[in-house]
Amino acid sequence: MLALALVLCATGLVCGVLACCVKTVTVTDDAGGQYMLMTALKDPRELVELADLSLDENDSAFYTPHETGQARLDVRRAFPVEILADGNEYIVEVSTGSVEQALEKAGVEMDAADFTEPSLDTNVTREMEPITVHRVEYEDEITQEAIPFETEFVEQVDDPDGAYVHEILQSEGVEGVQQVTRRSIYVDGVYQDTQVIDTQVIEEPVNEVYVKLTTNVVSPLMAPEGYTIQDGVPVDADGNALEPTYTMKATGYSSSGGKGASGLGLFYGSIAVDPTLIPYGTKVYIVSTDGSFVYGWAIATDTGAFIHTNRMQVDLFYETYEESVENGVKEVYVYVPPQDESNP
């Protein structure tokens, strides 16, 4: 009796264990058909055989358990996927996976810049369009190019009540040099775009510098090399003060256009002269005899109407008619530096 009881107990335990392991498995075949199985099996291929189904080489089956005593087996049948690459057509049979996996199966290799349509991580489907592989090529070009310089302005006040603000070039700008690498992009041999991928500065640019001078001196022209103004008088590099070359009557004039008789132009600092006394292009310094008015350094660019009158006269250019009238007639000293030292 004891032996019989042990046998029955063991049988009951086995049945209980089996009852706990048995699940209702829903088998779905995407080729058509659905089956219900009561089994403790979990291996997909064993379940396929139990359902009296078969798998071809590229078919696949996936088992998905659930906590409610249910499970699912999905049988996916292989289908053809078309791949277009390098002018060739490839057909691979797959039942699942991504575009990347389909390419691997077809033996189609991808370089780092190549891409596909649809993208590599797209899941393949029966209804999808052919996978197209696009080849990307680069062409690099290296050139040396100028770096533009910028303009700096330095404020300088000669006279806080000055009527003129001149922008005087203190130092010229120098362009820099940079090495630029541009990459042209071609997709399947067709040009798409060009991008700058690297820039290296070889020489930094040097900014041009202007002095923004507030002053009562009319002309913005710089002194000839070696000359300075001391106590209202030009002084050369050796410290020798110049004596006035001429004492003249100065009048003002203006013009809305033209370049003057010399063709050198008309601007603040241009003067009309008798060229037999002061040749065109000569740089001179002009100040009133009482020192109350300073025209400054000027350059002879025009001929005065007075040359036929034998008068010692100079016409000072102003940019507006009002200025020329306001400054009126003045008696001035005209300093003419020796021409072998003057640099207009």
Tell me: the pLDDT tens digits for 59-104?
999 999 987 889 999 999 999 999 999 999 999 999 999 999 999 9
The pLDDT assigned to 33 comes to 86
CA distances from 69 to 18, 19, 25, 46, 50 (A): 12, 10, 9, 19, 18
Query: pLDDT tens-digit profile of 164-220?
Result: 899 989 999 999 999 999 999 999 999 999 999 999 999 999 999 999 999 999 999
pLDDT bracket for residue 14 (50, 70, 90):
very low
- Stretch 30-47: mean pLDDT, rounded? 90
Least confident of 3-7, 46-50, 138-142: 3-7
* More reliable by pLDDT, 268 or 306: 268
Query: pLDDT tens-digit profile of 51-63?
Result: 889 899 999 999 9
- Say yes or no to pLDDT of 19 above 90: no
pTM of the predicted model as reported, rounded to 2 decimal places: 0.60
- Stretch 234-260: mean pLDDT, rounded? 91
Query: pLDDT tens-digit profile of 108-135?
Result: 999 999 999 999 999 999 999 999 999 9
The pLDDT assigned to 341 comes to 45
**What average pLDDT does the structure give for the chain?**
89
pLDDT bracket for residue 158 (50, 70, 90):
confident
* More reliable by pLDDT, 67 or 34: 34
- Say yes or no to pLDDT of 307 above 70: no
pLDDT bracket for residue 342 (50, 70, 90):
very low
The pLDDT assigned to 2 comes to 43
